Amino acid sequence: MTRIAIIIGSTRPVRSGEAVAGWVHDLAAKRGDADYELVDLKDYDLPHLDESLPAASGVYEHGHTRAWSERIDSFDGFVFVTPEYNSSTSGVLKNAIDFLYAEWADKAAGFVGYGVDGGVRAAEHLRQMLGRVKVADVPAQVALSLFTDFEEMTLFKPAARHEDAVTMMLDQVVSWSEALRPLRA
Ligand SMILES: Cc1cc2nc3c(=O)[nH]c(=O)nc-3n(C[C@H](O)[C@H](O)[C@H](O)COP(=O)(O)O)c2cc1C
């Protein structure tokens, strides 16, 4: 079965990302077309990039890198759930991406952003950086507004219409993840 990671892009103690990713996971789990797993960066506790060699070498000296590598390598595609911080994605997510290379390559990714303008600038920056590690970014995107999809900008209450956007984004992530399989073989 195709395996898709839903990656929580925030590690703040009080974060909206967990509720947003949980909502995406609940919708995804009903589809039956792939195995969807939540991946929480908090579980990996990665320091600022501390490997001596570039990730493209595939040579990792630290246990935390090997654990992260093994988990990401096990997936065929990704959904990045990203907050917008200062017009970009979170530093912790950028750092986690920088740790690896081949584990991301020739896989598909979709984006769920949240922020005052739906996290669109964060997702755009992610598209740019993921292109560098050979990720195929699907066009469908979910953009959640802090004003209309959260109460008092913190309690997640998504408008019903976003469910269709999630469906479209997941349709594309699954089909592209499967189409790219020969390149990963
Ligand atoms: C350091 C920081 C910078 C932020 N900058 C932006 C921004 O540039 N644009 C925006 O729409 N929201 C911005 N926000 C608001 C966050 O998108 C919002 O608080 C979001 O819920 C944070 O996600 P999290 O709770 O999952 O960490 C910023 C929040 C933080 C903590």
Q: What is the DSSP string of 2-66?
A: -EEEEEE----SS-SHHHHHHHHHHHHHTT-SSEEEEEEGGGT---S---SS-GGG----SHHHH
Confidence bin at 86 (pLDDT 50/70/90): very high
The confidence score (pLDDT) of residue 30 equals 98
Confidence bin at 158 (pLDDT 50/70/90): very high
The confidence score (pLDDT) of residue 138 equals 98
The confidence score (pLDDT) of residue 49 equals 98
Pairing of strands 150-151, 155-156: antiparallel
The confidence score (pLDDT) of residue 14 equals 95
**Is 17's C-beta closer than 6 angstroms to any atom of ligand 1?**
yes
Provide the residue type at 29 as one letter: A
User: Which of 84, 149, 154 for mutating ligand 1's site (highest number of atoms within 8 Å of CB)?
Assistant: 84
* Rounded-to-10 torsion of CA 59, 65, 66, 67: -170
Report how far ligand 1's centroid is from the alpha carbon of 110 (Å): 20
Given a contact cutoff of 8 angstroms between Cβ atoms, the answer to whether 100 and 55 are in contact is yes
**Is 125's C-beta closer than 6 angstroms to any atom of ligand 1?**
no
The confidence score (pLDDT) of residue 81 equals 99
Tens-digit pLDDT profile for residues 32-68 = 999 999 999 999 999 999 999 999 999 999 999 999 9
The confidence score (pLDDT) of residue 66 equals 98
Mean pLDDT for the chain?
Answer: 98
> In 3-state terms, what secondary structure has residue 96?
helix
Report how far ligand 1's centroid is from the alpha carbon of 84 (Å): 5
Nearest CA to ligand 1 atom 4: 85
**Is 77's C-beta closer than 6 angstroms to any atom of ligand 1?**
no
The confidence score (pLDDT) of residue 121 equals 98
Query: For a pLDDT cut of 70, what percent of the chain falls above it?
Result: 100
- Alpha carbon distance 74, 92 (integer Å): 21
pTM, rounded to two decimals: 0.98
> In 3-state terms, what secondary structure has residue 80?
strand
H helix intervals, 33-161: 63-73, 91-98, 120-132
- Alpha carbon distance 170, 110 (integer Å): 7
Tens-digit pLDDT profile for residues 62-80 = 999 999 999 999 999 999 9
Average pLDDT of span 108-131: 98
Q: How many C-beta atoms lie closer than 10 Å to residue 164's C-beta?
A: 11
> In 3-state terms, what secondary structure has residue 132?
helix
The confidence score (pLDDT) of residue 165 equals 98
**Is 145's C-beta closer than 6 angstroms to any atom of ligand 1?**
no
